[in-house]
Amino acid sequence: MTEHDQKQLGKTLWNIADQLRGAMNADDFRDYMLSFLFLRYLSHNYEMAAAKELGPDYPKLASDDATPPLAVWYEKNTDDIDDFERQMRRKVHYVIKPPYLWSSIVRLARTQNDDLLNTLQKGFRYIEEESFQSNFQGLFSEINLASDKLGRKYPDRNAKLCSIISEIARGMSLFSTDTDTLGDAYEYLIGQFAAGSGKKAGEFYTPQQISGILSAIVTLDSQEPKTGKRNKLDSVFDLACGSGSLLLNVRHRMKVAGGTIGKIFGVEKNITTYNLARMNMLLHGVKDTEFEIYHGDTLTNDWDFLRETNPAKKPKFDAIVANPPFSYRWEPGEAMNEDMRFKNHGVAPKSAADFAFLLHGLHYLKEDGVMAIILPHGVLFRGGVEERIRRKLLNDGHIDTVIGLPENLFYSTGIPVCILVLKKCKKPDDVLFINAADHFERGKRQNQLRPEHIDKIIDTYQHRKQEPRYSKRVSVEEIEGNDCNLNISRYVDTTVAEEEVDLKAAHRLLIKIEKDIAKAKEKHNAFLKELKLPLLP
């Protein structure tokens, strides 16, 4: 499928969502739409694998309204079901019983079957508790199939779901929906719902253009002069992972570059977004054994996996990416002063947890790892404890690059933001400042970074280039002389200097102009004299 068709599928599904949600707001309908798309992906992938596994024994579909082939096979081969499902768990890592497959659900919807709603509830529970070796308890917890917004009575809700599912199936039937295409459509829909959610979108979505910059940064390797790319990332961590798009972007970039990636880790506090992230991973072909998303609070660090006290077992990550909530208010408490994440640098103020998120990530970064985090510009220059944290980070050589981005790139805020790149074993004794604030394309709702803008940022970062009014390498000594102020404009001035005037040349030009005027006047008076008209004085 072409890129145009991939985008068109996303637009088609978005139009269907917009038409069908009725009185339901976009945030509520998002959970239904994305969950059905997720079920479609799991089912399609499973049925394709089953057809390959069973070969000629896999029944052919007589018509769209006929019983799904796998259901037919189950009915005729009851003694072989257990062996088949064991094999499928080895092949695709999960099992879906025929009644809960998307094709079966669509068949119920098209025939307006009264049992559709009950079957969906059972199917969602089965996927959460039995389909996978991993436990995905609560995966569909945000989908309220008993909601009055679907209808006040069971028949009304059932009829509404029949309509929604039939339309989604019709829309997808217009396209060849392979797994990659469904993944792209899922990302497109997340972006569209984010656009409609305004400030709340900051809870779960990082625009793809910014996500691309962060993923490029952590997959580049300054220690590899030939390719400039890492061959392998054993582990990637996002400490505020939202819908997981940042982590998936890192994974995609590594695969395109021919590298390999190990396990993906993320933490997400919002339950709805946490479920989105888990679905997003599976829908993009990440096996349940290849990722671990934890529902919890990064700031309180309540994930036991990260709280390992044995230094030999304490997790460390090759790459860390993050787009945490900006200037989030928190209540650190006295105990945070002894927290190993903050003990050496200081505890971020209650008014803004930006440095708390940063230090959390840095604590779990490998010695040769790279961390890229999006933060508001205030972290670059605010005083008090934040200044002390900056000074310690600079003295320890952890701040590698500061990148200033244009304003109005996010759905959640119009303020300009920056990317801080941190390393534990940074080689150059300077900080690279990139001022990309003026390099963008203005849009109606959000400004956009074009591919050339993104490529310029990445190339400048990778080769630590210096360019007037764009980038500069600044010694730590100079920054310390400025009270550890990292304000980008202090080091990279984007104003264009006025052209110097050469007074001697200007004087010569004025004399020449005066002589030319005199000659022109003399010639003009000659004509006036012939015409016997008054001369010019």
CB within 8 Å of 458: residues ≥ 6 apart: 213, 216, 217, 220
Identify the CA nearest to 162 among candidates 175, 145, 178, 140: 145
Residues of the chain with CATH 1.20.1260.30: 3-197
CA 484, CA 379: separation in Å to the nearest integer?
11
Non-local CB neighbours of 9 within 8 Å, separated by 6+ positions:
1, 171, 172, 174, 175, 177, 181, 184, 185, 188
Mean pLDDT of residues grouped by 10 in the chain (537 residues)? 58 73 70 86 92 92 78 94 94 94 94 94 94 87 85 91 89 67 74 60 68 93 55 93 92 88 94 88 90 95 87 87 94 91 95 97 95 96 96 95 91 83 87 93 84 95 94 95 94 74 86 89 84 82
Using H for helix, E for strand and C for coil, what is the string for 420-448?
EEEECCCCCCEEEEEECCCCCECCCCCCE
The pLDDT value recorded for residue 5 is 54
The closest alpha carbon to 446, from 269, 210, 230, 195, belongs to 195
Report the alpha-carbon distance of residue 205 to residue 412 in Å, rounded: 9
Separation CA 201–CA 194 (nearest Å): 5
Predicted local confidence at residue 96, as pLDDT? 96
Residue 198, pLDDT score: 47
Could you tell me the end-to-end alpha-carbon distance of the chain, in angstroms, rounded to an integer? 81
Residue 223 burial (10 A CB sphere; 0-12, 13-18, 19+): exposed
b/e sequence 248-268, b meaning 16+ C-beta within 10 Å: bbbbbbbeebebebeebbbbb
Give CATH for domain 204-490: 3.40.50.150
Query: 419 pairs with which residues across the strands?
Result: 374, 403
pLDDT digits (tens, 9 = 90+) for 209-257: 899 999 999 998 644 545 556 688 999 999 999 889 899 999 999 988 8
Strand partners, 404: 418, 435
Cβ–Cβ under 8 Å, residues 264 and 215: no
Q: Give the per-residue pLDDT at 55.
A: 94
Beta pairing, strands 365-376 & 232-238: unpaired
> Strand 430-435's sheet: what is its strand order?
291-295, 260-268, 232-238, 317-322, 365-376, 417-423, 399-404, 430-435, 471-475
Give the start-end residues of each E strand in 130-242.
Answer: 232-238
Residue 265 CA, distance from chain mean position: 15
Where in the chain are all domains bearing CATH 3.40.50.150?
204-490
Supply the pTM of this predicted model: 0.83
Maximal C-alpha separation, the chain: 124
pLDDT at 65: 66
Alpha-carbon torsion, ordered 411, 12, 175, 451, to 10 deg: -30
Q: Are 239 and 324 in contact (CB under 8 A)?
A: yes
Q: Which residues pair with 321 in a beta bridge?
A: 238, 372
Q: Which CATH architecture has domain 3-197?
A: Up-down Bundle (1.20)
